[in-house]
Amino acid sequence: MQISLQGKVAAVTGATRGIGRSIAIAMAESGADVALLQRSPENEAVKREIEKLGVRCAIVPCDVSDSRQVKEAVPRVVEALGRIDILVNNAGIQRRSPAVEFSEADWDDVLQANLKAVWLLCQQAGKYMLAQKSGKIINIASLVSFQGGILVPAYASAKGAVAQLTKALANEWSSQGVNVNAIVPGYIATDMNEALINDPVRSRQILERIPAGRWGNPDDFKGPAVFLASDAAEYIHGHLLAVDGGWLGR
């Protein structure tokens, strides 16, 4: 079987860099037209990369900290590219601090960007996908969907909930042609982990625990994301696919 996303429209949040950028490019390399849902519409760098691949690409303003913009994003994707077949909820933020010092503002920011925006985008995309009786939603979860993490109480709470939301929506929509799954990244060398990478002790401790013997990189997500977005994953629902170099198995 050949995996192709030809004729599909994929929307990816937070694709300006890191994991989201690799996933958006992979969707285009597999033949999909791509909507980049980003908070800085003037940043056209990834759009240019994608258009070179011969598919259509549209930038849709979507600051995930702003629920009003989030709710408008999916209709704008459909307006720009005609439909929506794939939604990748990738945009996310991190705040690190001991729990007793963790501010209410940081809690609200993390829960808004990493959970509420994911929910609203799933809900909006779900309306179109249920109507067309097909669609693939991929949420980006985390190891802290399973584990508590260290100094990241809001992030762990949000990502735990993203895993549960993925299963809740899959239970409701799987019989109607819509697949909802999640990818669980391990430790990936992106801007989000700058603090960990620059901490020689934590960085070494993490590396020693990864069975694959290396940190992940954004391109490690190309294959898993395209697979879950494709017809090859038709009977996969509510699954949390770890892309973690073996971390969770250890």
DSSP-derived 3-state class of residue 216 = strand
Q: Is 245 in the site for ligand NDP (CB under 6 A)?
A: no
Q: Which of these segments, 15-23, 52-60, 76-84, 174-182, binds ligand NDP (CB under 6 A)? A: 15-23
Q: Is 151 in the site for ligand NDP (CB under 6 A)?
A: no
Please give the full DSSP string across 107-162, using - where no structure is assigned: HHHHHIIIIIHHHHHHHHHHHHHHHHT-EEEEEE--GGGTS--SS-HHHHHHHHHH
SS (H, E, C) 182-200: EEEECCECCHHHHHHHCCH
Q: Which is nearer to ligand NDP, 130 or 192 (CB)?
A: 192
Q: Is 63 in the site for ligand NDP (CB under 6 A)?
A: yes
Are 237 and 170 a contacting pair, CB within 8 Å? yes
Q: Is 174 in the site for ligand NDP (CB under 6 A)?
A: no
Q: Is 192 in the site for ligand NDP (CB under 6 A)?
A: yes
Least distance to ligand NDP, CB of residue 143, Å: 6
Helix (H) or strand (E) holding 79: helix 67-81
What would you measure as the largest C-alpha separation in the chain, in angstroms?
53
What is the distance between the alpha carbons of residues 19 and 11, in angstroms, rounded to a whole number?
A: 14
Least distance to ligand NDP, CB of residue 113, Å: 5
Q: Is 71 in the site for ligand NDP (CB under 6 A)?
A: no
Q: Is 188 in the site for ligand NDP (CB under 6 A)?
A: yes
155 catalytic residue (yes or no): yes
Helix (H) or strand (E) holding 6: none
Q: Amino acid identity of 201?
A: V
Least distance to ligand NDP, CB of residue 147, Å: 11
- Please give the torsion angle defined by the CA atoms of residues 210, 212, 214 and 216, in that order, rounded to the nearest 10 degrees: -90
Q: Which is nearer to ligand NDP, 81 or 141 (CB)?
A: 141
Q: Which of these segments, 57-65, 120-128, 205-213, 226-234, binds ligand NDP (CB under 6 A)? A: 57-65
Q: Which is nearer to ligand NDP, 81 or 113 (CB)?
A: 113
Q: Which is nearer to ligand NDP, 35 or 64 (CB)?
A: 64
Sign of CA dihedral 9, 13, 17, 18: negative
Within 81-120, which residues bind ligand NDP (CB under 6 A)? 90-93, 113
Q: Report the residue from 9, 11, 19, 226 that binds ligand NDP according to the rule CB under 6 A.
A: 19
Footprint of ligand NDP (CB under 6 A): 13-20, 38-40, 62-65, 90-93, 113, 140, 142, 185, 187-188, 190-193
User: Residues with catalytic annotation?
Assistant: 155
